[in-house]
Chain A
């Protein structure tokens, strides 16, 4: 884990904007707990208390046009990526005004056209191959996008995680996977998922780059995420970031988490990511009391307005249950081409269908990680990478758009 970064890493505006998202994530969570206790939430409520810096810091590293697939605790990532508190409130309250119109709850929602957010499903691991496909499609279309998704310590035990990581690695897909090690998978501690001190070690099996970062240090998370996103965008393949943090509540509101040693909560409470970031801003004099108060006032105002909206929203009409199983005349997603299509059409697309095999698999050649090896001539990746490099020479990679542009 790295020490506190130099303050010049963040501009004044970025520092304040990050605080806005951190505080908004925390305040929205607190509000949702109140709503749960008032019986206004339908079903379970899954908290993100203690995990805000990981959600906010990783998503903040992305640029306009990038894709994310958050898990249900990544409320901060959804907020950074453009969703509003009302979207999350109406989802949890099962109202027709929610992004899914009440068809699904929690943070199980997304949007292909505007936000570029892929909805999670409850079966963990499945998002990794899906986001591998998103990353591959972006490259195929000549877009310079990065796909980012999150997985818990427990989720890495699934077969889908392995298949997805391995395929992304073989394809050198521009994918960043944030492995959020929050110490608990429901009631099962992390050492019962895998006998690893650092889950980032899983990356070695895929021959890809990995980092371990203090997930409660927002600035460190952001720094590592930016490095990972840049690397993926430049075509160096997927990156795995392990962010260590702590789920500070039970699995959901029904779960008092009595299986967690009290001292463990105390240990992590002393490392609360929001307090740490406030200290950082104070220490580096990146804000003043007036600015802090203004952010708090803004959040209070926005949450009140969104809560009013959510509470005044109706439930969906029962007949809506029958609609939307199939896409019949629904909106169609048109591919956004950023490269000449004829590169992918005969005769230009024509290749010699032969593998190039190096060293014939002999033992004496040593075991370099796959990512370090020269890609075989016949791999699917090769032409894509060649294409990317070729384009780079002519056209500079567009700098990530500013967050404020959103």
Chain B
């Protein structure tokens, strides 16, 4: 089997789930005839027809709202945000209607809201954001953000089969830049489980999405200098896999959290609190973080490169931490 890109892995997951279950259908802007802004749904209208691949008006609140109503009758809609930045337009529907539905009156909302997130493609302030933490702060939602093609496919299948609302963040920088061979047979990746991408004894780098790759690159450089960094890919941000984080910190005694999201209120703060609560005595140094700047995502390449974390900055912070 030829290697599959992160983007094709997403399309494969959609096709296979729609083939498996006619209750699965898609809604979004320009997803049908056009096949999606990034072609994630290319060919799906042709295969599944007008009723299952629905081109909508520019109405994020209507897209998510209608998905909720469909799920109440037993359907499994997957709603696309053309860019995940536009999820802000349906913030109320997600945080108030979707997230609280099961808690308030016992009505599960098995929907998936997916879309391209993240920077590095010079998309500027409205096509590059990482708004995941608005939703990680919202009980009732699940938030996943895969870093590999294998996980993208397996997690999207899990998300569609989950009985809870899942926000599925796709990193657009990874869409066509990474590829790997995938199993021919149906598989899923469980929501809520982090994975150790690279074992190491000297410090733990906890990260997710595109920063997994930057962290692995940094870890290679560090290894040449004699520092063995363990890289933990969170994969799911809500619910957070606390055990895997704590276990890694117990092994290495040092924690560096890396994310592309902005600094203040990013998940690094939550993880730092978690580790000081649960593994304070295992720490041999301060908890450090490498993140984007607390600014909107800037446009011009030198500005965006300055804004984003990268392997060099991760390695620098890791070296500093390793000295403790």
Contacts and interface: CB of A to CB of B under 8 A. Distances in A.
A14 interface: no
A352 interface: yes
B319 interface: no
Interface in B80-119: 92-93, 96-97, 100-108, 110
A350 B45 CA distance: 8
A134 B96 contact: no
Contacts of A103: 103-105
A344 B23 CA distance: 9
Nearest to A159: B61
A325 B163 CA distance: 12
Given A164-B62, A336-B74, A378-B33, A330 B50 contact: no
Given A346-B19, A382-B50, A160 B61 contact: yes
Contacts of A171: 54
A333 interface: yes
Query: Is the contact region of chain A dominated by helix, strand, or loop, or is it mixed?
Result: loop
Interface stretch (A121-129, A178-186, A286-294, A358-366): A121-129
Nearest to A164: B62
B320 interface: no
B52 interface: yes
A378 B19 contact: no
Given A336-B74, A349-B48, A349-B49, A132 B69 contact: yes
Interface residues of A, number: 67
B73 interface: yes
A351 B49 contact: yes
B72 A333 contact: yes
Contacts of B65: 126, 128-130, 132-133, 160, 163-164
Interface string A378-389: 111111100000
B120 interface: no
B50 A379 contact: yes
Contacts of B62: 129, 132, 160, 163-164, 166-167
A130 B94 CA distance: 12
Contacts of B296: none
A-B CB proximity, top 5 nearest:
A133-B69, A129-B65, A335-B74, A133-B66, A327-B108
Interface of A: 99-100, 103-104, 108-112, 118-119, 121-123, 126, 128-138, 140-141, 143, 147, 159-160, 163-164, 166-167, 170-171, 324-328, 330, 332-336, 341, 344-346, 349-355, 378-384
